[in-house]
Amino acid sequence: MLDIKFVRENADAVRENIRKKFQDQKLPLVDEALALDKRNREIKQEVEDLRAKRNRVSKEIGGLMKQGRREEAEAVKAEIAKDGARIDELSQEETQVEESLKKVMLVIPQMIDPSVPIGKDDSENVEIEKFGEPFVPDFEVPYHVDIMEKLDGIELDQARETSGNGFYYLKGDIARLHSACLSYARDFMIDRGFTYYIPPYMIRSSVVTGVMSFAEMENMMYKIEGEDLYLIGTSEHSMIGKFIDTITDEDKLPQTLTSYSPCFRKEVGAHGIEERGVYRIHQFEKQEMIVVCKPEDSMKWYDKLWQNTVDYFRSLDIPVRTLECCSGDLADLKVKSCDVEAWSPRQKKYFEVGSCSNLGDAQARRLKIRIRGPEGTYLAHTLNNTCVAPPRMLIAFLENNLNEDGSIRIPEALRPYMGGKSVIEVKK
């Protein structure tokens, strides 16, 4: 959410930012915000003037009474009462105007970084760099569900019976591999200086609206019926919420956190054969990174965060690339974002396995996350990034570590979490 003072002083830049995000339907919101802001300031000024007048005139009443000028004193009292009623009326209007202004400001998108490429949607995202050599083996790579079934590691039909489409049972070595990837990610991030957390898996609506846009909330979040609680779509939501209405001393920054959680999302549907199975699902687990830092440090941390994900995947022999999200693909709270994509030997292309985002002060302004410095308090910057999110990443892992006989190689880094196994043998 932008500062209304910034909008007031940079209205044309705000409009241009909306155009760069190809959200022209939001352009009228700038004028609406400015009109509400103007009215809000007018109300505050009138209330201030009336209160000053009441304080000044109240002192006159005692003098008039002492002088025996009772009728004049009563007239002044009546005037004060009339002004008091007007103050009450204005205060009610002020509350309504401020609520309307907040709703508008929540929809106006954050200012994107100048380095963000301009484009309408994800088809215009820009490749930044490749890490590792993508390869295609000289044997056919089966669909990931077929690989798992040959290893006796997945049950989809049973999950449809218990829960419907978009759910799964993992079993045996595949379930163990799933947990191993998360445990390794946890230790990987701890070794890089991040503090490990397991957060609440439900959050209140005040946190939801603080960490994401309305459009994202509607498309992603599951609400608990009859309660002010939502299931988290990622642990970033509750981890950023941890800092709500706090003031952190500069010398305690940056706050670098890594969190594990299950994640719950509405998004699922007919997205083509490669997005069936365990690619787009209602529930999954994730190891996340979260940083709260000073504004001048946020871009440095942005680069560190996506590099952590690249290093994690490369340690598992998975080729990846980074892809800069263009303006039209950025969620409204994001200043800058990139995806980490893993190589799929089956599809002969890359696919998304994680996303790194710098949100500037957008979440901090909504949630009142502040920093105390020598010259007073100011808003923090917040960032988040996916370290790993199985079972989607298992697709990349299985395809890139598949042997011709259908068995799976276990890279050295994962073997301690797999009981020392160097290979998962075919079961069927």
How many angstroms separate the CA atoms of 211 and 229, rounded? 14
Comparing CA positions, the residue from 71, 110, 97 lying closest to residue 381 is 110
Sole residue written with tokens 């003037």: 49
H-assigned helices in 120-221? 144-150, 157-163, 172-191, 205-211, 214-220
Phi-psi region of 130 (alpha: psi -120 to 50; beta: other; left: phi over 0): beta
How many angstroms separate the CA atoms of 344 and 275, rounded? 13
How many angstroms separate the CA atoms of 324 and 116, rounded? 8
Nearest 5°: phi and psi at 300?
Answer: -65, -45
| Residue pair 359/325 in contact by the 8 Å Cβ criterion | no
Comparing CA positions, the residue from 66, 68, 48 lying closest to residue 56 is 48
Quick one: CA torsion of 292, 231, 233, 315, rounded to 10 degrees?
80
Distance between the two ends of the chain, CA-based, in angstroms?
Answer: 54
3-state secondary structure of 341: strand
Please say if 79 is a catalytic residue: no
Please say if 352 is a catalytic residue: yes
Q: One of 280, 321, 346, 366 is an active-site residue; which one? A: 280
| Residue pair 391/284 in contact by the 8 Å Cβ criterion | yes
Task: Name residues whose C-beta falls within 8 Å of residue 336's C-beta, 6 or more positions apart in sequence.
Answer: 112, 113, 115, 116, 299, 302, 325, 330, 357, 358
Task: Name residues whose C-beta falls within 8 Å of residue 83's C-beta, 6 or more positions apart in sequence.
Answer: 50, 53, 54
Q: One of 355, 357, 365, 370 is an active-site residue; which one? A: 355
Other beta carbons less than 10 A from residue 69's beta carbon: 15
Q: One of 15, 186, 265, 365 is an active-site residue; which one? A: 265
Please say if 176 is a catalytic residue: no
Please say if 392 is a catalytic residue: yes
User: Strand ranges (DSSP E) for 186-301?
Assistant: 195-197, 202-203, 222-223, 230-231, 246-249, 255-264, 283-293
How many angstroms separate the CA atoms of 200 and 388, rounded? 19
Q: What is the CA radius of gyration of the chain?
A: 28
Q: One of 124, 352, 372, 407 is an active-site residue; which one? A: 352
Nearest 5°: phi and psi at 354?
Answer: -170, 160
Q: One of 321, 346, 366, 392 is an active-site residue; which one? A: 392
Please say if 355 is a catalytic residue: yes
The two beta strands, 195-197 and 255-264, are: parallel
Catalytic amino acids?
265, 280, 352, 355, 392
